[in-house]
Amino acid sequence: MIDKKWETPLLLQVVFNDDLPLIQAHPLVRYKIKEKPIYNNNNMKLIKLCLRLLLGAFMTYAGVSHLTFNRTEFVAQVPMWLRFNEGFTDFVVLASGVVEILLGLSMIFLFKKKATVGALLAIFFVLIFPGNLNQYFYHIDSFGLNTDTARLVRLFFQPVLIAWALWSTGGCCVLKEWWNKITNKQ
């Protein structure tokens, strides 16, 4: 028997799903396979790019707010053990704002170094986590977080930011490489 569509002898036809298109792997055998998935590599790259740019814009905005209109609010984030005097506390707020601006702009513009920037941003999120703990343990109202429940929920958002920075940039590989260098595992 000859198949008119494929113009080949049809000895065996394996069908997994009647709705799928036919492909020919061998002149005597036809298979139906699934089409490409919706989230192919190009779509995932676009999603990661958009999330990286969004995080970069968020960080830049947060950094500018450190230096200007939310400066006093960010004092609540400085841990008690780091508040030597008022001037130093203000310096910590300003310095963290400058770092956030640099990391945010780097996330947006340094696309060739995005994995390194993502790893640095993840480390930054880990380093500022004690400030979030400080706000929770000392019951400090700031940024509309005026209940312990709201402050506790915010603590769980920090790992999300770390994962966001690492996933959207591929920074996990860089962190692993740095860890291997530190522990002398080549």
Q: What's residue 17's pLDDT?
A: 46
d(CA 64, CA 43) in angstroms, rounded, equals 32
Retrieve residue 69's tokens: 């209109």
d(CA 101, CA 107) in angstroms, rounded, equals 10
Q: Of 123, 119, 126, which is closest to residue 173 (Cα–Cα)?
A: 119
Q: What's residue 11's pLDDT?
A: 45
Q: Are 32 and 40 in contact (CB under 8 A)?
A: no
d(CA 27, CA 138) in angstroms, rounded, equals 74
Q: What's residue 28's pLDDT?
A: 52
Neighbours of 186 (CB within 10 A): 6
Ordered mean pLDDT values, 10 residues apiece, the chain (186 residues) = 50 46 51 53 90 98 95 89 92 96 98 96 96 91 88 94 96 93 80
pTM for the model stands at 0.76
For residue range 14-66, what is the model confidence (pLDDT) as tens digits?
A: 444 455 455 545 555 554 445 555 556 788 999 999 999 999 999 999 999 99
Q: What's residue 130's pLDDT?
A: 93
